[in-house]
Amino acid sequence: MSIDKLLDEMETILVEATRLPFTNKRVLEEDDLAKFLDDFRELLPKELEEAKRIIADRQRILEEAQKEAQNIVEQAKTYVIKLTDENLINKQAQEQANDLMTQASLTAKNLQIDAVNYADEVFKHVLNNLEQTLEVVRQGHRDLQQNKNNLTK
């Protein structure tokens, strides 16, 4: 079950809960709330594992981008050496090598930026889901405490 589905389930529990007359309070079934909390506790580590996997993927992408950039730079150096051996095209070889190295650096930087942006978006999504879930749990707890206080009066 995803956090979104779990939040939908909590919303359903709240919407279907019996309203206390003349208040905006609701009576929640303790078993429903306990099940929700158990599911939440079970799901949270999965979401954290997903975040760790994303970080590992990001690191792998960065390493691959670095290797690709290094490979392109090495190819450019090899190409420069080959071209510089010929006196007539020495200047052209230098320009092409510089272009290749610039392109390789730009490609590597763009790949790194994309990987960082992707990881940032995923973290924002996970953080948003966790904040929403935490707010739902807090609201449920506040409602439960209020209900408890009302019942003991």
Q: 101-153: per-residue pLDDT in tens?
A: 999 999 999 989 998 998 899 899 999 999 999 999 999 999 889 988 888 87
Structure pTM?
0.39
In a domain, 8, yes or no: yes
In a domain, 130, yes or no: no
In a domain, 43, yes or no: yes
3-state secondary structure of 20: coil
The total domain count for the chain is 1
In a domain, 119, yes or no: no
Q: How many CA atoms lie within 13 A of 35 on its CB side?
A: 9
Contact 38, 63 (CB under 8 A): no
pLDDT in tens, 5-53: 888 888 898 888 888 888 888 888 888 888 888 888 888 887 788 889 9
Contact 100, 90 (CB under 8 A): no
In a domain, 101, yes or no: no
Give the domain extent around 27: 3-86
In a domain, 123, yes or no: no
In angstroms, the Cα distances linking 138 to 83, 133, 145, 148, 150 are 69, 9, 10, 15, 18
In a domain, 66, yes or no: yes
In a domain, 55, yes or no: yes
